[in-house]
Structure 1
Amino acid sequence: MTAQQTITVIPPGVALTGQVSPPGSKSITNRALLLAALAKGTSRLDGALKSDDTRHMSNALRQMGVVIEEPDDTTFVVTSTGQLQVPEAPLFLGNAGTAVRFLTAAVATVEGDVTLDGDHYMQKRPIGPLLAALRAGGVDVHSATGCPPVQVKGTGRLQAQRFEIDGGLSSQYVSALLMVAACGTAPIDVALTGKDIGARGYVDLTLACMRAFGAQVEQVDEVTWRVHPTGYVAGDYFIEPDASAATYLWAAQALTGGRIDLGVADDAFTQPDAAAQAYIAQFPNMPAVINGSQMQDAIPTLAVLAAFNRTPVRFVELANLRVKECDRVAALDDGLNAIRPGLSTVEGDDLLVHADPALAGTTVDALIDTHSDHRIAMCFALAGLKVAGIRIQDPLCVGKTYPRYWDALASLGVTYQ
């Protein structure tokens, strides 16, 4: 199957029931891989995600001298000296945003020059605010475009005393600075220049992971963390299932009136996207306004679900979705209108979905351009559970975070053509 091929979901016409175990959290896996690589000794990461994004992270760490073994499909065993080495070639990180942003900060600890690059999508994704924060902290870092490729000239020591960052565009910038700050020669303050931060819950995930690997972090005030120069300690770490992946299964259950056992309680997730479950549970009476700022990766799922809601839904504060793997606001709008013209409109950074329950049971001729974005492919597959004729381009792009997505739906009785 190539990027030019398509997959069409055949509406099952029955409630989807069964058991599906979501993959491990991509967000936590890539944090844990990096922190284990910065720790001296051997760490075992269980429940991990094996996907394109985590493969890019693990391969980059291997290029910098870290030994990473994979004894099974959900485990990484990471052995490191605690010091990343100069890679022989540029680090190619595909379109893995966490890998690029986290490693851009982390390689400041390398003694030598490191280049980080990605695919043509990544080369359009902004990283300027993170570079400016690193530069102000004394790190020699450069990008010609404000996007990858990025060149970092590391000195082997991180001597910054303070990093300041506007976290409004991406919480990943904040997380990147927090994680590297534990490798400093003295305490480092990481401070937000404003109180707004995209998906603050992901910073909480970062802090929890850092502490699990021995970091000492204190919150000085509402917008400042002080990270002590402890470095990291190797250890065993369990990675919870991916809440973003779970949203597709929750929505499939809601759309078909089924029951899908994820093997984990809905309230057991600590990731921000788990907040979407409360909205999915209200279907087909979802609220008129849903704020997407703190559960960004769940918005595509909710937007497609909203197409079948009884009343329109306005999604607000979606600016961060425009700088994901693609402009997801535009991609969602295009896909929804391909299903039925006028099904959605964009007003600034708001997406207004004009719900139409009568769509269920209809047949359309809708080709969904995924822009090679895994979340666009997976969310529009949900529409195919209720509407015939929805063709998903580049279906294998789901490999970025959920390689077995199509198999998971098939295990519930969904068929394709």
Structure 2
Amino acid sequence: MSVNDTVTVIPPGRPLHGQVSPPGSKSITNRALLLAALAKGTSRLGGVLKSDDTRHMSNALRQMGVTVEEPDDTTFVVTSSGRLQAPEGPLFLGNAGTAVRFLTAAVTTVDGSVTLDGDEYMRKRPIGPLVDALRAAGLEVSSATGCPPVQVKGSGTLAATRLEIDGGLSSQYVSALLMLAPCAAQPVEVALIGQDIGARGYVDLTLACMRAFGAQVTELDANTWRVAPTGYVASDYQVEPDASAATYLWAAEALSQGRIDLGVAADAFTQPDARAQGFIAQFPQMPAVINGSQMQDAIPTLAVLAAFNRTPVRFVDLANLRVKECDRVAALHDGLNAIRPGLATVEGDDLLVAADPALAGSHSDCSINTHADHRIAMCFALAGLKVSGVRIQDPLCVGKTYPGYWKALESLGVELQWVSA
């Protein structure tokens, strides 16, 4: 199949019932892969996600001398000397934001030169603030455009004692610096400039994963951590299911008034996107204002669900959604208005969804431009559960984080119509 293919979700006209196991967390899998690669010895990672993003991370680690075995569909076995080696060629990371940002910091420990690059979409995603933070710490890191490709010249050691970053720009920058810090020759303070951390919950995920691999981190205050120069210790680690993926299934359950068993309770997730379940549970009476800053990847799900709500919903603090795989604020606006003109408007970085329960059962001859963004494809498939005629472009882009998404819908009895270009 090609990027020009489409899939149409046929409204089932009945409640969806069944059992679906979400894939492992992409966010946690890529953190655990990197930390296992920085640890001397063998680590066994269970419950992992096998997708485009984690494939790019694992392949990059292999290029740097790390052995990454895959004995089954949900396991990585990582064996490392504890040091990343200079690769023979550039690291190609597709459009995997976690991989390119985490590795940009991590490869400063390499004795040699490393180039990190990605696809056409990645080359539009900002990384300048992280590059500047590393340069300010005396490291040789450069990016001609403020986006990948990034060039790093490492000396094999990290002499910095303080790393600073504006935490409001991206939690991935903060996580990248935190994961680098234990590799230093002496204690490092990681400090945030500014008042806010974008998606603070993801920083907490990073800290939990670091500690599982032996890091010693002390929180000095809300914006500063002291990290001991311990390096990392090989560990066996279990990755929890992906909360972002779970949001589509929770929303499908709510839209269809069905019952979908995920095998894990919403309150068992530690990922920040799980808080979206609290808003989904209120459907069709979702609140008038929803702040998206701390559950960014769940906003596409909630925005499409809001189209069927009884009252309008304003989504606020969405600035970081503009620098994801695509400008998701614009993509959500355009997709919702393709279903019905006037369904969404944008004011600054706020998205206003007009909401109309009468959309359910209607027909819309529309084609949703996914911009090769997995979350745009998956969230607008939800609209197809209630509105006939919704066609999703480039449906296989879901392979970035949830390769089994379409099969999961089919397992619930949802009919899909595929058209190959």
Normalised TM-score (structure 1): 1.00
Provide Cα deviations, 1:99-121, integer angstroms capped at 9, x if missing partner. Answer: 00000000000000000000000
Q: Which amino acid aligns with 2:111?
A: E
Shift of residue 166, structure 1, vs aligned partner: 0.3
The equivalent residue for 1:386 is 386
The equivalent residue for 2:240 is 240
Shift of residue 68, structure 1, vs aligned partner: 0.4
Identity %: 82
Distance in 1, matches of 2:27 and 2:68, equals: 18
Distance in 2, matches of 1:186 and 1:138, equals: 15
Provide Cα deviations, 1:278-316, integer angstroms capped at 9, x if missing partner. Answer: 000000000000000000000000000000000000000
Provide Cα deviations, 1:76-128, integer angstroms capped at 9, x if missing partner. Answer: 00000000000000000000000000000000000000000000000000001
The equivalent residue for 1:59 is 59
The equivalent residue for 1:300 is 300
The equivalent residue for 1:15 is 15
The equivalent residue for 2:147 is 147
Distance in 2, matches of 1:341 and 1:2, equals: 29
Deviates more, 1:194-203 or 1:287-296: 194-203
Question: Aligned runs of 1:116-131 on 2, under 5 Å?
Answer: 116-131=116-131
Q: Secondary structure at the match of 1:148?
A: coil
Shift of residue 403, structure 1, vs aligned partner: 0.1
Q: Which amino acid aligns with 2:103?
A: L
The equivalent residue for 1:258 is 258
Q: Which amino acid aligns with 1:303?
A: A
Distance in 2, matches of 1:66 and 1:202, equals: 25
Q: Which amino acid aligns with 2:86?
A: V
Distance in 2, matches of 1:379 and 1:52, equals: 19
Q: Which amino acid aligns with 1:146?
A: G
Q: Secondary structure at the match of 1:182?
A: helix
Distance in 2, matches of 1:152 and 1:188, equals: 20
Shift of residue 266, structure 1, vs aligned partner: 1.2
Question: Aligned runs of 1:176-325 on 2, under 5 Å?
Answer: 176-325=176-325
Shift of residue 169, structure 1, vs aligned partner: 1.5
Distance in 2, matches of 1:403 and 1:40, equals: 31
RMSD of the alignment, in Å? 0.4
Distance in 2, matches of 1:193 and 1:387, equals: 46
Q: Which amino acid aligns with 2:367?
A: L
Q: Which amino acid aligns with 1:177?
A: L
The equivalent residue for 1:399 is 399
The equivalent residue for 2:359 is 359
Shift of residue 380, structure 1, vs aligned partner: 0.0
The equivalent residue for 2:96 is 96
Distance in 1, matches of 2:139 and 2:248, equals: 40
Distance in 2, matches of 1:189 and 1:62, equals: 30
Shift of residue 221, structure 1, vs aligned partner: 1.2
Distance in 2, matches of 1:383 and 1:11, equals: 9
Shift of residue 222, structure 1, vs aligned partner: 1.4
1:415 aligns with 2:415: yes
Shift of residue 167, structure 1, vs aligned partner: 1.3
Distance in 1, matches of 2:300 and 2:57, equals: 25
Q: Secondary structure at the match of 2:42?
A: strand
Q: Secondary structure at the match of 2:286?
A: coil
The equivalent residue for 1:46 is 46
Q: Which amino acid aligns with 1:264?
A: V
The equivalent residue for 2:343 is 343
Q: Which amino acid aligns with 1:355?
A: A
Q: Which amino acid aligns with 2:266?
A: D
1:370 aligns with 2:370: yes
Shift of residue 141, structure 1, vs aligned partner: 0.3
Gaps of 5+ in 1: none
Provide Cα deviations, 1:3-27, integer angstroms capped at 9, x if missing partner. Answer: 0010000000010000000000000
Distance in 2, matches of 1:173 and 1:86, equals: 22
Shift of residue 152, structure 1, vs aligned partner: 0.2
Question: Aligned runs of 1:134-173 on 2, under 5 Å?
Answer: 134-173=134-173
Normalised TM-score (structure 2): 0.99
Distance in 1, matches of 2:133 and 2:233, equals: 26
Q: Secondary structure at the match of 2:183?
A: coil
Q: Secondary structure at the match of 2:112?
A: strand
Distance in 1, matches of 2:302 and 2:221, equals: 34
Number of aligned positions between the proteins: 417
Q: Which amino acid aligns with 1:102?
A: F
Q: Which amino acid aligns with 2:300?
A: P
Gaps of 5+ in 2: none
Shift of residue 243, structure 1, vs aligned partner: 0.1
Distance in 1, matches of 2:169 and 2:390, equals: 33
Distance in 2, matches of 1:372 and 1:248, equals: 18
Distance in 1, matches of 2:180 and 2:192, equals: 16
Distance in 2, matches of 1:66 and 1:139, equals: 23
Q: Secondary structure at the match of 2:195?
A: coil
Shift of residue 254, structure 1, vs aligned partner: 0.0
The equivalent residue for 1:77 is 77
Distance in 2, matches of 1:139 and 1:413, equals: 54
